[in-house]
A and B are shown apart, each in its own frame.
Chain A
C-alpha cells in the first residue's frame, strides 16, 4: 500500500487540475454557446478557424517568429558556447553569469523594458542614429513589431541555451579535437565536424523546448506589442486569451488551443525523426 500513499496526492491533483481540464477543453472545442448554455456543435469551431483571418494571421505570425527566432538563437548560443569553451579565454565564469542574467528576469518585466527601449524616440533608435540610421518604427509597423519580438526573445533566451551547450561541450572527449588537429583541421572544421555532431541530442532537446514555448508565446506579445499593430504580432497564445477572456467564447478558444496541441505534437515528432533517434 505504501507507494499508493506516496503517489496519491500527485495523482488526485493531476486528475482534477490537468486531466479533467484537458478533456473538458477538448469537449468544449466541439461546443457552442446557445441560449446561455453550451451545446454540441460538431466541427463548427474548427471550420470557423479556416475562415478567420485573425486566426490565420496568428498562425502565420507564430510560425514566422518560430522559424526565424529559434534557429538564430540556437546558432548564436552555439557560437557563444564554443567561444566560452576556448582555452584562450580567462574569466569564463564571469562571462557565463553575464550571459545567463537575462534568463532570470521576469517575462513581463523584460517585455515592458523592451517596449520602452524600442519606442520611436527610445534608446535603441538614438543609438542607431549615431550610425546615421533613420528611426525604425519598431512598435508601429507590423513587420518591425515582429522583429522586435524576435530581438527580445533572443536577448532573453540565448544565454540560457548557451549554458546548456557549454555544459554539454565539456563532455566532448578532448582526444577528438587533438586527433582533428593532427589531421590539420582548423577551428571552423572542428566546430562543424566534432562539436555540432557531438551536441546533436542536446541541440534537439533545446530545439524542441524552444519550439513548444514559442508556439505558446503570450507574455511578450501581450506586454511588448499588445498583438499589434494591425494584428502584426498576434500569436496563437494571445488569440486564445482574447477569445477566451475578452469575448468569452470558450468553445472557439478551446478549438484554437487544440490546434496548438496538434501542432506541438506534429512538430515534436518531426524534429525527433529528422534529427535521428539517439
Chain B
C-alpha cells in the first residue's frame, strides 16, 4: 500500500532528523574540545571558525604542565577519589547491611535521620567544616579532602535497597549452621552484591572526581589542588591561554569518557544511583 509506505518513510525521517540534530549538539562540544586542545588561542576565535586539528598538542600540554603541574593535580584527584570510594563504600555498605538485616535499638532513627539529611544542601555544612578542619590544622591535607563525606547517605540508601532484596532465609540457615556474622556477611551476602557495589562505587567516584566547592575551600596551596580546582584557577587570570585551558578540559574529560564507553551499563546505573535498572 503506497500511502502507508509513504507515511512510514515520513515518520522515520521525522524521527531521525531531530534525533540526529540533538545528538550532534550533545557530541559536537567534545570534538571542538579536541580541536581546541591542538590549537592556540587565536585559532579558537576566528571567523570562519577553525574546525580541524592543529599541531599545538604537545606545546599546550607542556604549557599546561608549567601552569598547574598536571601530574601532581591528577595524582591528587585520582588518589582522593579512589581512597574515597574504597573507604566510603566500606563504611556505607556495613551500615546499610546493619540497617537492612538487623533490628536493633535506634535503627529506625538512624535511618530516618540519614535520609532526611539528604535534603540539607551541602553548602549548609561547608562553613563549620572549614572552621573545624582549620582549627585542627587539617586544611590542605588529603584527610580534609577525603574524610568529611565518607558517610554518604545516598550510598547507604542504595546498598540498603539491594540488601533488602537478599533472602533472609539464606542468612538464617547459615546461622543455624553455626557461621559467624562476619563470615555470613563476607562469604554469603557480599558476593551476590557485586553489581550493586560496582554501581555504587561509580556513583561515589563520579561525585568525588567532580567535587569542586569543598576542594576549592579546603585547599589553598596549589600542590594540594584537585584537578577541577586547578582547571578553574586557569581562567582566573587576566590573559587566558585557551589552548592550555582546552588541553586541561580534555584531560579532565577523556579518561572518564573512555571509562564510560567501556562500562556503559554499570556507569549508567551507577550515575543514576541505580534508581532504574
Tell me, yes or no, whether A115 is within 8 Å of chain B by CB: yes
Q: Whole-angstrom distance from the CB of B54 to the nearest CB of chain A?
A: 15
Instruction: List residues of A whose CB falls within 8 A of some B CB.
Output: 2-4, 6-7, 9-11, 13-14, 17-22, 24-25, 28, 80, 83-84, 86, 88-89, 95, 97-110, 112-117, 119, 121-123, 126-127, 129, 155, 159-160, 163-164, 167-168, 205, 212, 215-216, 218-219, 222-223, 237, 240-241, 244-245, 250, 253-254, 257-258, 260-261, 264-265, 268
Tell me, yes or no, whether B212 is within 8 Å of chain A by CB: yes
In the complex, are the beta carbons of B119 and A216 less than 8 A apart?
no
Given contacts A104-B271, A129-B47, contact A212 B126 (CB under 8 A): no
Residues of B within 8 A of A104 (CB): 206, 256-257, 260, 267, 271
Closest to A97 in B: B264
Q: Could you tell me which residues of chain B, from 156 to 180, have a CB within 8 Å of some CB in chain A?
A: 156
In the complex, are the beta carbons of B271 and A4 less than 8 A apart?
no
Given contacts A83-B19, A98-B23, A250-B131, contact A22 B231 (CB under 8 A): no
Using an 8 Å CB-CB cutoff, how does the interface string of B38-75 with A read, 1 for contact, 0 for none? 00000011111100000000000000000000000000
Which A-B residue pairs are the 6 nearest by beta carbons?
A10-B95, A6-B98, A167-B276, A21-B125, A3-B102, A21-B128
In the complex, are the beta carbons of A22 and B48 less than 8 A apart?
no
| A-B pair number, CB within 8 angstroms | 251
Complex formed: what's the CA distance from A107 to B206 in Å? 11
Tell me, yes or no, whether B30 is within 8 Å of chain A by CB: yes
Residues of B within 8 A of A19 (CB): 113, 117
Residues of B within 8 A of A219 (CB): 212-213, 228
Given contacts A6-B98, A101-B27, A212-B121, contact A223 B128 (CB under 8 A): no
For the residues of B in contact with A, the DSSP-based class is helix
In the complex, are the beta carbons of A99 and B26 less than 8 A apart?
yes
Residues of B within 8 A of A80 (CB): 19, 22
Tell me, yes or no, whether B235 is within 8 Å of chain A by CB: yes
Closest to A240 in B: B123
Residues of B within 8 A of A102 (CB): 26, 29
Residues of A within 8 A of B149 (CB): 17
In the complex, are the beta carbons of B271 and A103 less than 8 A apart?
yes
Residues of A within 8 A of B90 (CB): 9
Number of interface residues of B (CB under 8 A): 93
Complex formed: what's the CA distance from A159 to B26 in Å? 8
Residues of B within 8 A of A22 (CB): 117, 120, 124-125, 128
In the complex, are the beta carbons of B121 and A261 less than 8 A apart?
yes
Using an 8 Å CB-CB cutoff, how does the interface string of B240-251 with A read, 1 for contact, 0 for none? 001001101100
Closest to A121 in B: B45
Residues of B within 8 A of A18 (CB): 117, 125, 151
In the complex, are the beta carbons of A109 and B45 less than 8 A apart?
no
In the complex, are the beta carbons of A116 and B242 less than 8 A apart?
yes
Q: Among the listed B148, B246, B275, which residue makes an inter-chain contact with A116, where contact means beta carbons less than 8 Å apart?
A: B246
In the complex, are the beta carbons of A13 and B23 less than 8 A apart?
no
Q: Among the listed A14, A126, A258, which residue makes an inter-chain contact with B47, where contact means beta carbons less than 8 Å apart?
A: A126
Q: Among the listed B16, B120, B127, B212, which residue makes an inter-chain contact with A254, where contact means beta carbons less than 8 Å apart?
A: B127
In the complex, are the beta carbons of B99 and A7 less than 8 A apart?
yes
In the complex, are the beta carbons of A205 and B275 less than 8 A apart?
yes
Tell me, yes or no, whether B32 is within 8 Å of chain A by CB: yes
Residues of A within 8 A of B242 (CB): 116
Complex formed: what's the CA distance from A167 to B125 in Å? 34
Closest to A107 in B: B210
Tell me, yes or no, whether B83 is within 8 Å of chain A by CB: no
Q: Could you tell me which residues of chain B, from 231 to 277, have a CB within 8 Å of some CB in chain A?
A: 231-232, 234-235, 242, 245-246, 248-249, 252-253, 256-257, 260-261, 264, 267-268, 271-272, 275-277
Residues of A within 8 A of B16 (CB): 89
